[in-house]
Amino acid sequence: MDFSYPKIEKLKSKKIIDLLFSEGKSVSKYPLRLVYVKHDFEEDVPLKIGVSVSKKYFKNAVDRNYFKRVLRETYRLNKQLLIENLEAKYCFMFFYQTNERLSYQEINQKTVQLFEKFVKVIQEENNGN
């Protein structure tokens, strides 16, 4: 099992980020939200992900950066849930959407629930087609 988060998995492309916001679908598990789009990129990785914490909820950059680090860490530890169940390549944007200061354990638990919900939605979409 690979628990790394290499640079190649980081979502950096402005075009793909714009595509996510214009055509992406979303799954939520309060206070987390995952916006996703199926995208066939050149790199040989199953998914690319970016994280975001709004300035609206946390005015101080220190607080935003803390929650971004927590989101990246929970993704890194739980990405196997996604990789094992995805057939296509996806791009994700992972959001923290509340001003509540949840503990790491709560965020990790919500991340697992969100990833499971996402996998269920994708499986339903694939079975519907």
CA distance 37 to 66: 26
Q: Indicate if the pLDDT at residue 43 is higher than 90.
A: no
3.30.1330.10, 3.40.140.10, 1.10.10.10, 3.30.230.10: which CATH number matches 9-117?
Answer: 3.30.230.10
In sequence order, what are the beta bridge partners of 94?
34, 51
Largest CA-CA distance found in the chain, in angstroms, rounded: 45
Per-residue pLDDT of 65-101, as tens digits, reads 999 999 999 999 999 999 998 888 999 999 999 999 9
Determine the pLDDT at residue 16. Answer: 92
Determine the pLDDT at residue 25. Answer: 94
Determine the pLDDT at residue 129. Answer: 63
